[in-house]
Structure 1
Amino acid sequence: MDRENQTRVTEFLLLGFSGEPEQEKILFGMFMWMYLVTITGNFLITLAITCDSHLHKPMYFFLANLSCVDICFSSVTTPKMLVNHMLGNESISYVECMIQIYFFITFINMDGFLLSVMAYDRYVAICSPLHYSMIMRPKLCVLLVAVSWIITNMHALLHTLLMVQLMFCSNNAVHHFFCDPYAILKLSCSDTFINELMISTAGGLMSITPFTCITVSYAYIFSNVLKFPSIQAIRKALSTCGSHLTVVSLFYGAILGVYMHPSSSYSVQDTVATVIFTVVTPLVNPFIYSLRNYDMKGSLRKLIIRRLVSP
């Protein structure tokens, strides 16, 4: 069939949580609550780090960037789903879907890159504490974040441009709650070989590189920590990595659960895993970092008290 004679899809139907009305009401309330807590928690983390001069350190600089990315990441998928539920509508326009794909790829990869940069920061702090301030200079910190933004945006642009070259015919039902690139790709009625090749090569490289950096950093950290003379010193060193390791495990564990096995359609387990790294991880990040960090808790406490007592 000629491309000119094919009916081009102008919108997609997001069917991720279609079910009983009572279930949809519960899910709507749950996602609304999680989104509001995510925005509030990450905003407070960013504000506390910005306002407290004692937190103007590389570790907190990266944490502030991670909180900003988590705000944007959760805002890519959740608001559209909530609006569709309120309007009783499951549709998303073709243009909105492509935009959602672009920002989804950007922010999910940016999360991975920032987690790898934070792992490197912990490596330098534990393995080379005397040279930490000399190595982790402000210019290097800004450069690491800036390069991460450039790489992730270029990668997202590549996949989005390849996606808009595809034809979508009669089938426009997406069994997901947002325009997941994998789910959209399966709906195309044209050849997707190039797209799949780029996902396997460039996409795989973008996923494996940060994870490898995190693994190597912690391999060096653990090998050095075991040489410490006392149990108390080992415990103190590992406590500085606990929050980061928790977030890394939650984030990559959910991603591996979705994208590392072939599937012709999204199952309930896939949807749950996707919810974890798109909604739950940005939600729990501020709690994990603030509850396990005395400086962060003190700064947040001062920030909240200052706002409450100010006129």
Structure 2
Amino acid sequence: MADIAAAPDQLVKAAPPRTRRRLLSRFPHLVVGLYLLVALVGPLLIDYDPVHTSLTDRLLAPGSETSTGTTAWFGTDGLGRDVLAQIVYGARTSVLIGVSTVAISCLVGVVLGAVAGYFRGGVDAVLARVFDILLAFPAILLAIVIAGAFERSVLLVVVALSATGWITFARVTRGVALTIRERPWVDAARVLGVPGRSILVRHVLPFTAGPIVALATLEFALVVLAEAGLSFLGIGLPASTVSWGQTIANGKEYLEGQWWISTLPGIALSFLIINVGILGDQLTARHRRGRTD
């Protein structure tokens, strides 16, 4: 009886740590949601012209007042451009390129991987070898070659990053399809005479959603980081398009005195990558628990 009476007290004492853990697990969701909100709404609230320069306001420290009477909360760069505005507009660029690249890679990879895994035979043999051959090329090196060979644009960066991004989706989808195609309900559908295309769409592809969503989250972080790397090297986006990588590159010669030009966009980039990575790990762990259950 004493143990039963003490049970509610134990539950009450155990609740706060569990609640804190639950709140901490939701923190990456809040951060990613905040970045998406800034990318969507921020440019509507902050007016910024990436081509306009104000030499009288160049290299202002964070919190300084500009010549127009406004406050440069994150300071200005070597051409007098507001760093906060560059971070906000750079968030839109990163989200746009990340979502577009992941969407294209996911579409191409899932279709090819599902076809290879379900139909097997010669189709699987050919596609599997294509996957292996393309994996032999370093992804970032191939993206640099593609981005450097043509005129800089957002579309070119998306194409360059998608050139190898779909391979991971294809390999994951192929592995899932190879497993699902042997399940009893798939065999039953074949016995009933259901066409292979319908079986693939109705009975195989839905089971790829879990691992694909988790993979898409991780790939989004890698794409954002790769885009910043291309822009930092000066072969990614044109000068008229604001990017975190370009802002960081613009401040590299002022690191000794005007640290905020490169440091603050770098912190924004790192914070997004870390939280997206944590979110991806959480989705992967949840998918594995679901398979175990």
TM-score (norm 1): 0.30
TM-score by length of 2: 0.31
